[in-house]
Each structure stands twice: as C-alpha cells, then as structure tokens.
Amino acid sequence: MNIQWYPGHMTKAKRAMKEDIKLIDLIIELVDARAPSSSRNPDIDELGQGKGRLILLNKADLADEAASALWMAYFEEKGFEVMKLDARSKAGLARLQPMIQRACKEKIERDRRRGILNRPVRAMVVGIPNVGKSTFINSLAGKAAAKTGNRPGVTKGNQWIRLNKQVELLDTPGILWPKFEDQTVGLRLAFLGSIHDEILNLDELATELSRYLLEEKPGVLAEYYKITEEGCMAHQVLEELARVRSCLKKGGEPDLSRTAKLLLDDFRAGKLGRVTLETPKEAGC
C-alpha cells in the first residue's frame, strides 16, 4: 500500500518549531517505544542544535522490553539522555529532574560563569502526532502547576508552566511531522496510529498488519484471537477474525471494514501483547 504525506503541513510545522526553539534550553523529545526510529523526525537534530536533549521512549508499557533495552543503549551511545516512560502514569517522573539537569549541564555551567544562579531551564516537549505529548505534559504539570503567563518575547499564546524552581515547560508541545521516504517507515507509523487514519485504506492497512504479524511475530494472532495461523494467508486473516469475533453484516457476510478497525484498535492498545516493530538494526540505525 502507498502512504502519502503532505509537504504543506511540514513547512508550517517547521516554521512554528523554529520560533519556539529560540525560546528554550532543552528539547524533550517523545518517540514511540514500539518504533523509536520511525517515530522520530531526524530534522529535530538540526533544528535543536546547541540545545539540551532528552529522549523519552514513550508507551514503553506497550513495547517489547528486550527491544527497549536495545534502543536505550542506542540513544545513550549517541549522547542523548534517555528514559523509558508510560506518560499516563506519574511513576518514573521523579527520575526526570536529574536527567534534565544532566542534559542542560552546559547551559547551567555557562549561567554560573556569568554569575546567573538558579535560572530555570526552559523546556519544550516535541514529537509526532499521537506519541503522547499532551498526556506527558498533563502528567508532569498536574493540576498544581502554575502558569506563569505570557511574557515579553514569548510567542503569542505560549505560556510557561513552572514545574519547580529549576524547570519551566512550554505549555504547548511542538508537533513534529512524520518523515519517511521509505514505505516501511510509513507503514510502521500507520500501524501505530501516528498517521491520520482518514488518509489510509484501513482494510489494506489491517491486511498489511496481518502480514507483518504472521511473518515477524508468529503466534501473536493465534494466541489472542484463537485462530489457526498455519496455512492462513494475510488476506484471509480478516475473514477469519470476522468469523471468530462474529463481525458480520446483516446478511451474515463478514464485515471486513469493522474487523479491520478491530484488529488495528486491538494492536494499538497492546491487546495482542507487547510488540516492537523495529530494533535499531531493523531500522537501519
């Protein structure tokens, strides 16, 4: 299947990002732990030059733990501060503070030399759509967080959330645009729900997901849906699922569109188990 993305969105998003990045010291980049390379936009490395960097492998609760360990090692080796996260839970957030300090140590040191003490680090959360940016900001900020209001020089509408004495967070996340020339990357993002479903043919997408699971993660479909994988071709999976889940139209025909949606929803919600779509090697890193 052919997945298209519109360059118009990219130009606008990039311009907005450039403006916001001028205001901050630290980029907190969320990637999807199930596809950490595909869900990154490498342009952020250029846009964020000179800034502190922190990578959060979000939705780690849905990812394969062994694969996440490989990704942690990969990003650490590249010099990033990196942490696994379930943005919906507050557990683990305490570990963030020392990481922020480490990621910004050059800035803190520079301030100190100039006699500026205790100026808070200003941070911004970035990531592609659906990666968990808003969830993370809400978990981090909580209800107690005070918004510090607009300030001179701050882009209209931007507000800072004071997390503590050391960190202020821009309240609106930066939206990175998915980037792919390679259709495999597009497909992985589509499986995860990071590309608007409206522009995709969901029946085809679900069939591609079936193919991927049959070939790369044998047993996953059989285990959850209690179907027989042996001899089952990708294009037959939806019919099989429609049968076992009684997803039928009025006349008793399989409702393949509803079944496609069911499979994608189940996969994205982690009901089929913890599946990571790429290791660093598979992603060509």
What residue ranges bind ligand G4P (CB under 6 A)?
58-59, 61-62, 85-88, 127, 129-135
Closer to ligand G4P at the Cβ: 91 or 244?
91
Q: Which is closer to ligand G4P, CB of 192 or CB of 242?
A: 192
Q: CB-based burial of residue 136 (10 Å sphere; 0-12 exposed, 13-18 middle, 19+ buried)?
A: buried
Least gap, CB of 208 to ligand G4P (angstroms): 21
Cβ proximity to ligand G4P: between 125 and 237 the closer is: 125
Q: Which is nearer to ligand G4P, 58 or 207 (CB)?
A: 58
Taking CB positions, which residue lies at the least distance from ligand G4P? 132
Residues recorded for the chain: 285
Amino acid at 147: K
**Is the Cβ of residue 3 or residue 87 nearer to ligand G4P in the bound state?**
87
Q: Which is nearer to ligand G4P, 87 or 140 (CB)?
A: 87
Min dist. Cβ of residue 173 to ligand G4P (A)? 6
Shorter beta-carbon distance to ligand G4P: residue 135 or 159: 135
- Report the nearest approach of ligand G4P to the CB of residue 204 (Å): 22
